[in-house]
Structure 1
């Protein structure tokens, strides 16, 4: 899978083995995703203990779950795109340390409203981290293994959910529900300070914005010793593209043939994130009665994330071979059926756990595929903006998921009814991906009957290689 045409650094990376500094950048991007998964799932794992400690009804936690996601929505849309102007590295460092601060404040909450405000503050930082971590991972990946590497990086989100379950099991007993957030704050702060010393800036960003600066040459030589700086013709082409694409956010999102692609990507993200965050927030709570213990409820949430980890491991290989559209369409259909299976068998813990794992495979693993798709659709100068808006619109669905679950339980819906209706967003994601695949297929057919495509023609299609 290639980046959009006109990315000069792609040929530098593609002609060499993956170097040490590339691995460092990819590993740190993966750790950013781990923090995202941990932060999202921490509240779900802490919820049963919080409910007992505060003596509140479970339905009041819906706004708490959604507050962090609303913050991510705001951060993704309002702040993530600033990295296209100021760079990936400074935005990632600042946002990571910001999240650590708000996580350490979380256990000091004394009321639900305070908890909502603090979770919103942490969410704003996470909304900046995720699109920029994925954009940086894309820019440090080689074309022949880009999808596999990006799925591995994105799987950090699922790893974070699993780690959150393990940490919760260790710290809730001795330290209470707040211990989960103290541990998360420590891990996040360590990552932030590590990035200060070892995270490189995107070489593509430097070539685009600072092509004549010494640090651009120094980074190029660290990444690819002996490589030549792109010539004046390439630099002029880059400047021309920058002028064309950076004029307005609207152009970045809907220009170069993305008039229908971007809304369909948003729809898929909205539907799948609504489903994913509903499951992440409420599976431990909804399964707590059938499994009979807080530990069993945590295990149900952990199994969801383990299923997602398996999805990341397999879906990347399948997408590299068969393309985004075919794999993700089937994946989301199966995911909806798996959620229906949880509804039907939620009172039988062993059977329900199997369906929970399958739902995690399809929904959480599928979201990693959507994250990877988002950053392949946009060029360097608008990549953080495009990915940020896609994830931001998805986060709006993520906000509604936990709120919808809380509302349904507040009006006395049963666990099986609540779970069954949560399969609908997965079907909507499947429909959006099906429409996107059909659009891509038609463009491929149209290009096949025209004169042979040049690089510029491919770029104007808005179609990344391997999408169909």
Structure 2
């Protein structure tokens, strides 16, 4: 009997629920840590007299670290164990957040944001794998909706914290709160996050059988006499170079394009919207309010995705949300200077952009075999981050060159349409794979 397949088709145990809950909590911390720079941007740019281009580089510095973390750190999760990689990533995040509190100038703050981003990048892709492997087939799409909501909830909490803290204690206070939350989650992860079962089966580290039986005991499952055999195609996986072999190469390139363009639009909205609204209205508090509205819409979007995934295939939800979000960016640009209407459209923008992220997280892990999953998702997120790094910087140059904020929003509708086309092509290719090349995919996820 295939124990992993049996677990995926059975109701989730308490251990599985706990693993997913820890992953969602970690996404909440990630969302808070990423968003604090956007919320601090208006006060920070005034305190240090930053021009739009410099501010764009500062907002992108965390994305630089996230790209490096996804590309460099995440593949090690397939080598040094996924739980251990998660703890290392959290140490980097906590260190970067603590140092950010004491930054003396913009160069130092950029460096510390890169360090924190390095940990976040190594963590997010790894979390995707944990959630995919510990979720049941029936609930995976819905769980990924909840999982993605953690990021939006964290970003929203960051706004609620930043609103009262920054006027009284300055922009450093929000970094201090983020640092404390990261350290707390380091302790929680050490205590409650289990190792990946599929990692133990596919990589067979020392004492793998004993460790797997210990986890099965907590799941009230009978112990195994020996580890299950792994398919030959999984045993043959070696690492990054397998992403460029045969059809996998085409899939990887399309996936990087689709995810990269989607996440570039997402980070433009999440990093620049508070500042653009604050500048347009002359009211910094209104900028924070808009950031809250967008992120709260993101929470709603994740829950909507989670509910709809019970009834619809996640790939269909992703395609729909990508096309609707492209339209929403255009409409938001057209209503940007009508504050009341812009706030409403901003909430819709948050809904559809977060649904995009949930859709990618729900549909992409199963494109890769277990032995290559950490590397595959890590490179998807990493390449996406490399593309998204250019997003805040590009906006800074466009604004400095005389572009109006509303035209920038309209421009970002185009990448989302291209992203949708890339994903449709991937699904078409994977549906035509020979049976031996197919990677197990559930009805609700696909």
Give the deviation of 1:372 after TM superposition.
2.1
For 1:7 and 1:195, locate their aligned partners in 2 and report how far apart those are by CA, in whole Å: 28
Give the deviation of 1:116 after TM superposition.
1.4
For 1:214 and 1:318, locate their aligned partners in 2 and report how far apart those are by CA, in whole Å: 39
TM-score by length of 2: 0.93
Q: Which residue of 2 aligns with 1:451?
A: none
Give the deviation of 1:439 after TM superposition.
3.2
Q: Which residue of 2 aligns with 1:464?
A: 441
- Structure 1 residues 205-230: Cα deviation after superposition (integer angstroms, max 9, x where no partner): 2233147542221111112x242427
Tell me if the contact between 1:7 and 1:379 (Cα under 8 Å) persists in the aligned partners. no
Give the deviation of 1:398 after TM superposition.
1.6
Q: 1:309 pairs with 291, 296, 299, which one?
A: 299
Segments of 5+ residues of structure 1 without an aligned counterpart are 1-5, 448-456
**Correspondence 1:244 to 2:240:** no
**Distance change >3 Å, CA 403–CA 254, structure 1 → 2:** same
Give the deviation of 1:29 after TM superposition.
0.5
Q: Which residue of 2 aligns with 1:395?
A: 385
**Distance change >3 Å, CA 418–CA 363, structure 1 → 2:** same
Segments of 5+ residues of structure 2 without an aligned counterpart are none
For 1:161 and 1:191, locate their aligned partners in 2 and report how far apart those are by CA, in whole Å: 16
- Structure 1 residues 250-302: Cα deviation after superposition (integer angstroms, max 9, x where no partner): 22x25585343222221111111110111111101111144442111111111
TM-score by length of 1: 0.89
Give the deviation of 1:182 after TM superposition.
0.3
- Structure 1 residues 117-165: Cα deviation after superposition (integer angstroms, max 9, x where no partner): 1111111111110011111111111111111112211221111111111
- Structure 1 residues 327-359: Cα deviation after superposition (integer angstroms, max 9, x where no partner): 222211111111111111111111111211122
**Distance change >3 Å, CA 256–CA 27, structure 1 → 2:** farther
Tell me if the contact between 1:338 and 1:355 (Cα under 8 Å) persists in the aligned partners. yes
**Correspondence 1:227 to 2:222:** yes
Tell me if the contact between 1:8 and 1:204 (Cα under 8 Å) persists in the aligned partners. no
Q: Which residue of 2 aligns with 1:453?
A: none
Give the deviation of 1:89 after TM superposition.
0.9
Select between 283-292 and 101-110 the one with higher mean Cα deviation.
283-292
- Structure 1 residues 170-223: Cα deviation after superposition (integer angstroms, max 9, x where no partner): 311221001110000000000001111222111222233147542221111112
Q: 1:206 pairs with 190, 200, 206, which one?
A: 200
Q: Which residue of 2 aligns with 1:452?
A: none
Q: Which residue of 2 aligns with 1:70?
A: 64
For 1:212 and 1:65, locate their aligned partners in 2 and report how far apart those are by CA, in whole Å: 42
Q: 1:348 pairs with 338, 341, 345, which one?
A: 338
Give the deviation of 1:433 after TM superposition.
2.1
**Distance change >3 Å, CA 107–CA 231, structure 1 → 2:** closer
Question: Helix, strand or coil: the match of 2:345?
Answer: helix
**Distance change >3 Å, CA 228–CA 463, structure 1 → 2:** closer
Structure 1 vs Structure 2 CA RMSD: 2.1
Q: Which residue of 1 aligns with 2:401?
A: 411
- For residues 135-174 of structure 1, what are the structure 2 equivalents within 5 Å? 135-174=129-168
For 1:150 and 1:308, locate their aligned partners in 2 and report how far apart those are by CA, in whole Å: 14
Give the deviation of 1:7 after TM superposition.
6.8
Tell me if the contact between 2:83 and 2:195 (Cα under 8 Å) persists in the aligned partners. yes
Tell me if the contact between 1:374 and 1:386 (Cα under 8 Å) persists in the aligned partners. no
- Structure 1 residues 67-88: Cα deviation after superposition (integer angstroms, max 9, x where no partner): 1101111111111011111111
Tell me if the contact between 1:257 and 1:462 (Cα under 8 Å) persists in the aligned partners. no
For 1:369 and 1:122, locate their aligned partners in 2 and report how far apart those are by CA, in whole Å: 25
Tell me if the contact between 2:77 and 2:374 (Cα under 8 Å) persists in the aligned partners. yes
Q: 1:110 pairs with 94, 104, 107, which one?
A: 104
For 1:465 and 1:193, locate their aligned partners in 2 and report how far apart those are by CA, in whole Å: 34
Tell me if the contact between 2:209 and 2:224 (Cα under 8 Å) persists in the aligned partners. no
For 1:7 and 1:437, locate their aligned partners in 2 and report how far apart those are by CA, in whole Å: 27
**Distance change >3 Å, CA 463–CA 440, structure 1 → 2:** farther
Tell me if the contact between 2:52 and 2:397 (Cα under 8 Å) persists in the aligned partners. no
Q: Which residue of 2 aligns with 1:33?
A: 27
**Correspondence 1:359 to 2:349:** yes
For 1:219 and 1:312, locate their aligned partners in 2 and report how far apart those are by CA, in whole Å: 30
Tell me if the contact between 2:330 and 2:409 (Cα under 8 Å) persists in the aligned partners. yes
**Distance change >3 Å, CA 271–CA 201, structure 1 → 2:** same
- For residues 372-391 of structure 1, what are the structure 2 equivalents within 5 Å? 372-391=362-381
Q: Which residue of 1 aligns with 2:271?
A: 281
Q: Which residue of 2 aligns with 1:370?
A: 360
**Correspondence 1:215 to 2:207:** no
**Distance change >3 Å, CA 322–CA 226, structure 1 → 2:** closer
- The alignment of Structure 1 onto Structure 2 pairs a total of residues equal to 443
**Distance change >3 Å, CA 316–CA 226, structure 1 → 2:** closer
